[in-house]
Amino acid sequence: MSINVAVAGATGYAGGEILRLLLRHPAYLAGELKIGALTGHSNAGESVGSLMPHLPQLREREIVDTTVENLRGHDVVFLGLPHGHSAEIGRQLGPEVLVIDCAADFRLRNESDWHDFYNGDYAGCWPYGIPEIPGNRELLRETKRVAVPGCFPTTITLGTLPAVSAGLIEPSLSVVAVTGVSGAGKKANVKLLGAETMGNLRAYSPGGTHRHTPEIIQNLSPFSDSEVSVSFTPVLAPLTRGILAIITAPLADGVDKLQVRAAYEKFYAEETFCNVLPEGIQPETQNVSGSNMVHIQTHVDGRAGQLVISAALDNLTKGTGGAAVQCMNLALGLEETAGLPCAGLAP
């Protein structure tokens, strides 16, 4: 097998993470996967070594313009571009190319949701890149187009899905999710400066206004007999990587902690990247940093009649780049876990 891969937006955080993972992929190490065009917009003409010295294997490579011409001729094209830039490129790449989009352009099935939360024309939807959602893995094995999910929806969906699908909760979710600054991408923004973020916590896009809200509802609704509602507020923290989501929902009548525990362990028993932690151990962002894992814990608050779910992941790995490589593996018929680390960086 010979696989030629291009990365558009290679100098962004998502593109850099995809490259980091590809460079440790067994197919790359065996000489079967080749890294082709690396494209960027403002960095065209510069070397990888000067922009991303953490990728020494590619230090002599030059960043080229993000054009369809530079991306054609590859077996796989990863699109690590801002929202609204992927759709046209995706249309112009042939049906034989596996195109994996890390932006939001093709995530939403409902056109009205797109118009409510994003600008520009609705481009349609592609198979959705959370393989752990029942039914998705089969679609991803047969596709040439993948919409990588948002990092918040991945955390919240995988944290909540066992409870929703087993009817353990009323699907009225209240979510607070703490995130690091890399989730906003590599762009100049005063609110993301070190002086603005260090020693500071700030909520933003509160209660249903964040763009990822309809994506979370879309993911959970097929598994619930009742209408799913989500009140979601993210909090920006002085972290480089990581998301910790705390999800609270009313318990269904008669549900106890043993039922909850059994449902979660059964749901994720065969899922390599979903780790239901031992009782009493809470998810921590440092334990998933650099890994493709989601760490999950549940707590039954009997007095309040609530299920409290904690879930943590690395927004750049399982939340973006790792999900993209995981989907590539499935679509190409490779081992799904190939090149994807389970061990995090701790401390």
What pLDDT does residue 303 have?
Answer: 95
Q: Which fold has domain 152-313?
A: Dihydrodipicolinate Reductase; domain 2 (3.30.360)
Q: Going residue by residue through the chain, which has 347 residues, state the pLDDT in tens, using 9 for 90 and above.
A: 799 999 999 999 999 999 999 999 999 999 999 999 999 988 899 999 999 999 999 999 999 999 999 999 999 999 999 888 888 898 899 999 999 999 999 999 999 999 999 988 999 999 999 999 999 999 999 999 999 999 999 999 999 999 999 999 999 999 999 999 988 777 778 788 888 889 999 999 998 899 999 999 999 999 999 999 999 999 999 999 999 999 999 999 999 999 999 999 999 999 999 999 999 999 999 999 999 999 999 999 999 999 999 999 999 999 999 999 999 999 999 999 999 999 999 88
What pLDDT does residue 185 have?
Answer: 78
State the Cα–Cα distance between residues 221 and 245, nearest whole angstrom: 19
pTM: 0.96
- Which ranges in the chain are annotated with CATH 3.40.50.720? 3-148+320-332
State the Cα–Cα distance between residues 300 and 125, nearest whole angstrom: 36
Q: Report residue 298 CA to chain centroid gap.
A: 21
Buried b (16+ CB within 10 A) or exposed e, 307-341: bebbbbbbbbbbbbbbbbbbbbbbbbebebebbbb
What pLDDT does residue 124 have?
Answer: 95
What pLDDT does residue 187 have?
Answer: 74
List, in sequence order, the alpha helices (H) in the chain. Answer: 13-22, 26-29, 48-51, 68-71, 86-92, 111-117, 136-140, 151-165, 194-197, 213-220, 257-267, 285-288, 322-332
Torsion angle, alpha carbons of 219, 78, 15, 313, to 10: 30
What pLDDT does residue 318 have?
Answer: 98
Active site residues: 151
CATH code: domain 3-148+320-332 is 3.40.50.720
- Which ranges in the chain are annotated with CATH 3.30.360.10? 152-313
What pLDDT does residue 208 have?
Answer: 85
